[in-house]
Structure 1
Amino acid sequence: MDEKTAGQLRLIREVVAVLRADDVPAWLFGGWGLDARIGRITREHGDVEFWVERIHAERSKALLVAAGATVLPTQPPEESCEFTWDGVLFSTAYFDRRPDDSFSQPLGRFADWLFPPGSFGAEPVTLDGTPVLAMSVAGLLAMKEQFPGLRNGRPWRPKDVTDVAVLRGLAGPSSTPPAS
């Protein structure tokens, strides 16, 4: 394991511990979320991304800053907050629960993103020996599949194509490609 990956794993443990101590759930997503769902590290990651329910946004930010993270003024505050902690880049993005038990990010550039019920479950998975919450396979797949079609989306990168194939395999035979 290289230094960057070791630093990101250390950061994941620290963020989870700080937020868990104050009963603020945070779910890994992106590449680290997929790795947590698979149960092993599959590749190098550029950053670490967590989802936090919007009702906990300000409290999570205050807790992380008090623990040593530095806020970077790089993201629209209604969408997310980017941080650095001991030289490791990470972010918290904010979601809202909808009346039908689905989830969305209704404020900001990605207001058209919708996540299915069950995307943010309470059962932890294990990542490098640490219990963590991770966005569900269905939620990760919905994120990836919707992204190119969002009003502020962009085409899949090669790693997105690979991730979608892995997620579809994890989701099982009921997972079908999106309609064109």
Structure 2
Amino acid sequence: MDEQTAKQLRVIREVTGLMRAHDIPAWLFGGWGLDARIGRITRAHGDVEFWVERVHAERSKALLVEAGAEALPTQPPEESCEFTLGGVAFSTAYFDRHPDGSFSQPLGRFADWLFPPGSFGDEPVPLDGTPVLAMSVRGMLAMKEQFPQLRHGRPWRPKDIADMAVLRELAAE
């Protein structure tokens, strides 16, 4: 494990511990979310990404800043907040729950992004010995598959294509 991966794991532990202590669920997604679902670290990651329900957005941001994270003014505040902590970049993106069990990010650039029921479950999975919440396989696959068609989406990168193949295999299990 390289130094950056070790630092990112420390941030994941700090953020998940802090959020858990304050009853704010935070789900990993992106590369770290996929690694959590696979059960092992598969590659180096550029950042750490968490989903937080919008009702907890301001409180989670305040708790993270109080714990030493620096909130960066780089994202529309209705969508997400980027932070640094100990030289590690991470973010919290915000979603809303709907009565039919689905989820979305209805404010901001990605208002057309929809996540299926079950995308944000309550069962933690182990990541390097730490229990973490991670977006479901179905949810991450829906995220990846929709991205190029979103109003503000972009084409899949090679790692997105590879991740979708892994997610499809996991979904078939």
Paired with 2:43 and 2:149, the residues of 1 have a C-alpha distance of 26
Matches within 5 A, 1:14-163: 14-163=14-163
Amino acid at match of 2:85: W
For residues 68-98 of structure 1, the C-alpha deviation after alignment (integer angstroms, 9 at most, x for no partner) is 1000000000000000001100000000001
5+ residue gaps, structure 1, are 174-180
Paired with 1:37 and 1:92, the residues of 2 have a C-alpha distance of 19
Q: TM-score when scaled to structure 2?
A: 0.99
Q: Secondary structure at the match of 1:108?
A: coil
Paired residues in the alignment total 173
Q: Secondary structure at the match of 1:15?
A: helix
Paired with 1:18 and 1:133, the residues of 2 have a C-alpha distance of 13
Paired with 1:43 and 1:108, the residues of 2 have a C-alpha distance of 30
Shift of 1:131: 0.1
Paired with 1:149 and 1:42, the residues of 2 have a C-alpha distance of 27
Paired with 1:13 and 1:99, the residues of 2 have a C-alpha distance of 31
Paired with 1:17 and 1:27, the residues of 2 have a C-alpha distance of 12
Shift of 1:119: 0.2
Q: Secondary structure at the match of 1:152?
A: coil
Paired with 1:171 and 1:20, the residues of 2 have a C-alpha distance of 27
For residues 17-47 of structure 1, the C-alpha deviation after alignment (integer angstroms, 9 at most, x for no partner) is 1111000000000000000000000111000
Shift of 1:99: 1.4
* RMSD, aligned CA: 0.7
Q: Secondary structure at the match of 1:43?
A: coil
Paired with 2:46 and 2:149, the residues of 1 have a C-alpha distance of 23
Paired with 2:56 and 2:8, the residues of 1 have a C-alpha distance of 23
Q: Secondary structure at the match of 2:93?
A: strand
